[in-house]
Amino acid sequence: GQQVMQIPQYQHVQEGEDFTTYCNSSTTLSNIQWYKQRPGGHPVFLIQLVKSGEVKKQKRLTFQFGEAKKNSSLHITATQTTDVGTYFCAAGGSQGNLIFGKGTKLSVKP
């Protein structure tokens, strides 16, 4: 079935360093969504990208959708301890459902 591959699985950074997680698909995606799950919490929707080459920013977070609509990235500038959590990308499945990547777990050392 359809899959979205997400790398890296884990990322440990020093506070203030940048962080990037990547999401890749073998098929063209109609859209991609990003979610954040804090430790002990539930996934929370961050953003949806729809257009080829789209770039969206939320404060220190920058989201990109590839030109071919097969990949996406989330970049955090100057990480803070509040950024700790697991970041998931999710893409629409063939049945209209949402398929999640395995996530990137970010830890930030103060």
Partner 1 sequence: DSGVTQTPKHLITATGQRVTLRCSPRSGDLSVYWYQQSLDQGLQFLIQYYNGEERAKGNILERFSAQQFPDLHSELNLSSLELGDSALYFCASSVSGASPLHFGNGTRLTVT
Give the strand pairing for 10-14 and 85-92.
unpaired
CA atoms of 86 and 91, how far apart (whole Å): 17
* Element housing 46 (H / E): strand 44-49
Nearer CB in complex with partner 1: 42/59? 42
Query: Binding to partner 1 by residue 11, rule CB under 8 A?
Result: no
| Torsion of the alpha carbons at 2, 65, 104 and 21, rounded to the nearest 10 | 140
Nearest residue (CB) to partner 1, 26 versus 30 = 30
Q: How far is the CB of 6 from partner 1 (least distance, A)?
A: 8
Q: Which is nearer to partner 1, 82 or 95 (CB)?
A: 95
Please list every residue from 17 through 76 that binds partner 1, using CB under 8 A.
30-31, 33, 35, 41-45, 48
Read off the tokens for 40: 């002990």
Residues that bind partner 1 (CB under 8 A): 30-31, 33, 35, 41-45, 48, 88, 90, 92-93, 95-103, 105
